[in-house]
Structure 1
Amino acid sequence: MAMQSQSGFDHPITLPHGAPASCRPLNAPAAFSLVVAGLLAVFVNASPELCAQEKNISESSRNATEPELKGILSPADRGKAIARWEKEIARLERLDRTHDDPENAVMLMGSSSIRLWEDAAEMLAPYPIIRRGYGGARYSDLVVFAKRLVSPHEYRALVVFVANDITGSNADRPVDAVRKMVLHVIAVSQEHQPDAPVLLVEVTPTPSRWGVWPQIRELNAMMREIALTHPGVSFVSTAQYYLDDQDVARPELFRQDQLHQNEPGYQIWADIIRRRLDEVLGGATPPATASAKSSSQQEVSGAAIEGK
């Protein structure tokens, strides 16, 4: 049986005698719809496998997996951290690909006080610096991204400053919960570079968060205890230098937001951290050659400031 031209086919098509209607050619719109439906069916059937592969890549080789964070961070909170910070972590990874690290570097990792420290390389000289900070970081998201942040780098020491786990908000976590997260970050670094000491920098007293300073002191005491009981970990005590004679935070050491340090504040930080590095490393090695510029000098501005 020859099909008529309205079938939408360029050439007549002959069907066997008695062929059911479902076998008969469709008109052009119907044929197109059928093709599209078929392609969608193939995609839908394949997409779970493709999504599983993508999920496996992102969770096993880039971010800490749910099993790795069992007892430390819930799957729901892990997902929230990835959703909120993925773009910022990816930005730092692009920096890893486009800039060479200096030799014998000290890596600075943490929240926006690290990210905003644009003069870190100069202030901490002669220690070459790798700077990887993102504004608003908490240990509850750093545990997810720690491996991504440290594994591309070789460093003599890792300096960590994270100041947003206790801010007076509903998102604050108990000190015992943060302790597990701090230990996880330390373990990630020590697995990557067993001989590189980890320096935990004390959370600074600030005028904007003075109302929760007692709770922050408990957090600092916890980190000090970790340093005293875990080999390869040191505590960098800084708070006393940011308090006046009345044991109140010194506003002149902070920017207008009374949260982030200004240049005089950073200079105090640099002097303390450098001295601690001298103690744990036995002194600085000669700076890297001029051709290997510090990533701290090269880092571009990140996302808007969120937290300390």
Structure 2
Amino acid sequence: MTSAAPFAPAQRLRRLLPGSFTLLLLLLALGIFAQTPARPDPAQWAAELRAFARQDSRTPPPAAPILFYGSSSIRKWETLAADFPGRPVLNRGFGGSRFPDANYFFEQLVVRYRPRLVVLYEGDNDIAAGATPRQVYESFQTFEKLMRRHEATRRTPLVFIAIKPSLARWALYPRMQEANALIRHYIAAHPQLLRFADVGPPMLGADGRPRPELFEADGLHMTRAGYAVWTRVVGPYVGK
């Protein structure tokens, strides 16, 4: 009796769903049931938000900037001003962020600057943390709806930088490409204010894999050569 106790819930479920029990176990094993979307933790970003506030007080941001927003691939783009000379660029990337974080801080880090253009990179960390391509797509839709909800961004164009291929997350790239495809399709259906900057193809070598020279030692974050690729792809959208 004692040894059988741990299996009692499964036995009851088998009796309740005799024709579905094996399929249920298979679906669980394959991870078909989507994970709950990540919830933002505002305290996690307190230091970075304070740093942004200090920057704004010491050097007032440009009026109606071209706002670059998103995760560490944006935060580490430290050559924005040199890459887009004469353009009023403003970097508000915060490393490690996911789409729910970008959406949570939308008013604080996007609306307040009343940008003329938003360039967004998110989804990379979402997929790495287990989000499904559909969840990433829905998070993008939420971000776009936030832009249209606020007067300051209602007519502001949005450029989405495709989730990039990388050495460190190459095994996840098929899922990233699924998310990219969903977002690209949505953008194609709403061409008035949305653009898709596909950085993927030029980041791949002749062998179809990520070019090593584009990445730092961690295989995830980019070198200057990687950002040169992004500059060429994103440039036409920001008027370089």
| In 2, Cα distance between equivalents of 1:206 and 1:262 | 12
Amino acid at match of 1:182: F
Deviation at 1:188, TM superposition (A): 2.3
Aligned pairs for 1:215-234 within 5 A: 215-230=175-190, 231-234=192-195
CA distance in 1, matches of 2:234, 2:223: 16
The match for 1:141 is 101
- Report the CA distance shift for 1:272/1:173 in structure 2 as closer, same or farther (over 3 A): same
Which residue of structure 2 aligns with residue 183 of structure 1? 141
User: Post-superposition shift, 1:77?
Assistant: 4.8
Tell me which amino acid in the other structure corresponds to 2:145: A
- Which residue does 2:209 correspond to in 1? 248
Q: Give 2:153's aligned residue.
A: 193
Query: What residue identity is the alignment partner of 1:131?
Result: N
Cα distance in structure 1, aligned partners of 2:215 and 2:142 = 31
Following superposition, the deviation at residue 206 of structure 1 comes to 0.4
Matching residue within 33, 45, 49 for 1:89 = 49
1:293 is matched with: none
Query: Given residue 151 of structure 1, which amino acid in structure 2 is its aligned partner?
Result: V
CA distance in 2, matches of 1:81, 1:224: 29
- Hey, what's the Cα distance between the residues in 2 that align with 1:243 and 1:207? 10
Structure 1 residue 204, shift from structure 2 partner: 1.1
Closer/same/farther in 2, CA of residues 268 and 98 from structure 1, 3 Å limit: same
Q: How does 1:84-163 map to 2 (within 5 A)?
A: 84-162=44-122, 163=124
Query: CA–CA distance in 2 between the matches of 1:77 and 1:95?
Result: 29
- What TM-score do the two structures reach when normalised by structure 1? 0.61
**How far off its partner does 1:104 sit?**
4.7
CA shift digits 1:3-46 (9 cap, x unpaired)? xxxxxxxxxxxxxxxxxxxxxxxxxxxxxxxxxxxxxxxxxxxx
CA distance in 2, matches of 1:181, 1:90: 25
Larger radius of gyration: 1
Identical positions, percent: 28
Unaligned stretches of 5+ residues in structure 1: 1-73, 279-283, 285-308
User: For 2:185 and 2:130, how far apart are their aligned partners in 1?
Assistant: 20
Q: Which has the higher contact order (CA 8 A, sep 6+)?
A: 1
The answer to whether the 8 A contact 1:140-1:178 is kept is: no
2:165 aligned with 1:205: yes
1:260 to 215, 221, 231: 221
Among 148, 164, 168, the alignment partner of 2:125 is 164
Question: In structure 2, what is the Cα distance between the partners aligned to 1:77 and 1:199?
Answer: 23
| Equivalent-residue separation in structure 1 for 2:50 and 2:134 (angstroms) | 30
User: Residue 238 of structure 1 corresponds to which residue in structure 2?
Assistant: 199
Question: 2-side partners of 1:143 and 1:172: how far apart?
Answer: 18
1:27 matched residue in structure 2: none
Measure how far apart 1:187 and its partner are.
2.3
For residues 195-241 of structure 1, give each alpha carbon's deviation from its aligned partner in whole angstroms, at most 9, with x where no partner exists: 22000001110011011111111111122122112341111011000
Residues 109, 172 of structure 1: alpha-carbon distance in 2 compared, 3 angstrom cutoff: same
1:173 Cα offset (Å): 1.2
Change over 3 Å in CA distance of 1:276–1:151 after alignment to 2: closer
- Tell me which residue corresponds to 2:31: none
Displacement of 1:139 in angstroms is 0.4
Q: Distance in 1 between matches of 2:224 and 2:176?
A: 23
Question: C-alpha distance in 2, partners of 1:86/1:77?
Answer: 18
Q: Show CA shifts across 1:78-134 (max 9, x none).
A: 4x5223223323432343343212245211000111111111111122322110011
State the alpha-carbon separation in 2 of the partners of residues 194 and 99 from structure 1: 27
CA distance in 1 between counterparts of 2:53 and 2:136 reads 25
Structure 1 residue 161: Cα displacement: 0.7
